[in-house]
Amino acid sequence: MKPDDTLFRAFLKRLLANRLAMAGALVVGVLVAVAALAPFIAPHDPYNVDVAAILLPPSPEHPFGTDELGRDVFSRMVYGARVSLEVGFVAAGLATLVGVLLGALAGYYGGKVEALIMRFTDMMLCFPTFFLILAVIALLEPSIVNIMAVIGLTSWMGVARLVRAEFLTLKERDYVIAARSLGASDARIIFRHILPNSLAPVLVALTLGVAGAILTESGLSFLGLGVQPPLASWGNILNQGKANIEIAWWLSLFPGLAILVTVLGYNLLGEGIRDALDPRLR
């Protein structure tokens, strides 16, 4: 058995033994399944306006009630799960990619390169991220593509610092010195020898980043600067419920619970992965 197989089996065993992490994985799995099977799960067309069914309370026909246009809230939330996953994975993936590249360059080369990258990182960290996103979105058209890009390009700083710290440690290891003495290029050393051994904290940051991106998108949509109607999003369903909270409590309760459970699930899974990758934290 290869050493990598043994390490993976040990990681998987520790992860499976963590009940909270498994609960988080179950939530994530259900969310992915709901998003993938949305056309089969949603009982109604999420965009169909029915003036005869305006603000109906939860019932067998409409499990989560209807909104001010008579649209089925459960169907809109099912399709909103797709938006949450898309924004979460794309934005977190973009932030991770940018953070890994900048952190790798800073940690490997050091000196002026490190100083320039890390001072830029510190400058980005000085701005409140959510207000920076609000400012940029206000200048751009509030589309789902712009939202994913802005969230991703303003959330990479933590990943960059993690990767830089890993590179500062790993670049002095014997196998890196041996590869350098054999004439391996910097790119090969970075991407073939060092980066694969520094991905453990990146995986944790990616998982937690998805939760953060979903929460940020929901906040933007709630403020009217995120996903725009008629496209369904948990955040804009909450926005619609704000005006009718006294007579249509279901418009606020169900999307709010969905956001809470989803973010909690990703956070539990991320913490479980962190504990499984580093048993000393247990």
Domain spanning 3-34+77-235+249-281: which superfamily?
Answer: MetI-like (1.10.3720.10)
> Is the distance from CB of 189 to CB of 179 less than 8 angstroms?
yes
Which residues make Cβ contacts (< 8 Å) with residue 71, sequence separation at least 6?
44, 46, 47, 48, 49, 50
Q: What is the pLDDT of residue 22?
A: 92
Q: What integer pLDDT is reported at residue 56 of this predicted model?
A: 86
Task: Say if residues 57 and 250 touch (Cβ distance below 8 Å).
Answer: yes
Helix (H, G, I), strand (E, B) or coil at 66: strand
pTM: 0.86
Contact 49, 38 (CB under 8 A): no
Phi, psi angles (nearest 5°) of residue 182: -85, 0
> What DSSP string runs through 135-165?
HHHHHS---HHHHHHHHHHTS-HHHHHHHHH
Q: 3-class DSSP state for residue 78? A: helix
3-state secondary structure of 282: coil
C-alpha of 251 from chain center: 24
Query: Measured at the alpha carbon of residue 54, what is the angle toward residues 50 and 55, in degrees to the nearest 5?
Result: 145
Q: State how far the Cα of 135 lies from the Cα of 113, in Å rounded to an integer.
A: 29
Q: What is the per-residue pLDDT across 162-211, written as a single tens digit (0 to 9) for each?
A: 999 888 888 888 888 888 888 888 888 888 888 888 888 888 889 889 99
Distances (CA, A) of 114 to 108, 126, 165, 185, 188: 8, 18, 11, 19, 19
Q: Tens digit of pLDDT per residue, the chain (282 long)?
A: 455 567 778 878 888 888 998 999 999 999 999 999 988 998 888 888 888 888 888 988 889 988 888 899 999 999 999 888 888 899 999 999 999 999 999 998 888 899 999 999 998 888 777 787 877 777 877 778 888 888 898 889 999 999 998 888 888 888 888 888 888 888 888 888 888 888 888 888 898 899 989 988 888 888 888 888 788 888 888 888 888 888 888 888 999 999 999 999 999 998 888 888 765 555
What letter does residue 72 receive in the DSSP assignment?
B
Residue length, the chain?
A: 282
- φ/ψ of residue 72, rounded to 5: -70, 120
Q: In 3D, which of 208, 210, 217, 228 has the Cα closest to residue 134?
A: 217
